[in-house]
Amino acid sequence: MARLKLKEHAINREWCKGCGICIHFCPKQVLELDSMEKVVAARPEDCICCKLCELRCPDLAIEVLTDQDEKNE
């Protein structure tokens, strides 16, 4: 399987409630809360596209877009 390449973290700020689950369980500490208590990708360059944030998000507010996805579509 080809390694996934990060395009961007699509974060829906309207839906995010800032619970911090994605931030805490990110294996690479990519995510942070901003001053509005919404999640932002502070260090996207460290992201390994494991998509655990996307899987656990109770608000369905984060999506890890990768290049692999684009080819699949």
* Rounded least distance, CB 44 to another protein, Å: 21
> Which residue from 17, 27, 29, 43 is in contact with another protein, where contact means CB under 8 A?
17
* Rounded least distance, CB 61 to another protein, Å: 8
Q: Are 1 and 72 in contact (CB under 8 A)?
A: no
Strand partners, 46: none
CA distance 38 to 41: 10
Q: Is 20 one of the binding residues for another protein (CB under 8 A)? A: yes
CA distance 47 to 64: 9
- For the window 31-70, what string marks contact with another protein as x by the rule CB under 8 A? ---------------------x--xxxxxxx---------
